[in-house]
Amino acid sequence: MSRIGDTPVIVPKEATFTVEAHAVVIKGPKGELTLSIPKGISIVPSGEGSFTVEKKGTSKKLNAMHGTMSALLSNNVIGVTKGWTKQLELSGVGYRATIQGNDITFSVGFSHPVVVKPMKGITFSITDGKVLVSGIDKYLVGQTAATIRAIKPPEPYKGKGIKYTGEYVRRKAGKSAKAVGAK
């Protein structure tokens, strides 16, 4: 059984947290995030600059929410202090991205450009054919990066498309029997 919920969440000096009725507000140099707390879960301050997540009961649902809430709160602490980023690569001849205002425009082999508008709190930057998605909310950063990747996922024959930096694309061999059987 996982013990993630039992570990205390450490808040650095540059961030603060306040526990309200059914929510925790974490403020830091990059911004502010609020997370609602479900019934049966409580947040208890434990010393200077840390808190623990406690559950009131032993049901399966509470056991699952105990670890989940602890992980979400620690992700929020990292987000408001350091921020989250995802990097995507464009691979293919003529594939490029440009920033126009806050929006990003992709030219990836379609007859039209594809425009992606950022969600609230998300910023884009482009360097050397790589798109950097950054923000303070880990979920929104990951969802925006997944939305961009879904525009043109990498295909297995030539590897063209939009992929995460470091993502392995399994390549397939093309049709080689076509040249052998021709007469």
- Give the model confidence (pLDDT) of 60-85 as tens digits: 888 889 989 999 999 999 999 999 99
Chain centroid to Cα 171, Å, comes to 26
- 64 backbone dihedrals φ, ψ, rounded to 5°: -70, -45
Q: What pTM was estimated for this model as a whole?
A: 0.86
Q: 152: closest CA among 122, 120, 125, 112?
A: 112
The per-residue pLDDT for 69 is: 93
- Give the model confidence (pLDDT) of 108-135 as tens digits: 999 999 999 999 999 999 998 899 999 9
Greatest extent of the chain over all pairs of C-alpha atoms, in Å: 82
pLDDT above 70 coverage of the chain, percent: 95
- Give the model confidence (pLDDT) of 80-110 as tens digits: 999 999 999 999 898 999 999 999 999 999 9
pLDDT at 180 over 70: no
Q: For residue 57, is it left (φ>0), alpha (ψ between -120 and 50) or beta?
A: left
Domains of the chain: 4-81 (3.90.930.12), 84-164 (3.90.930.12)
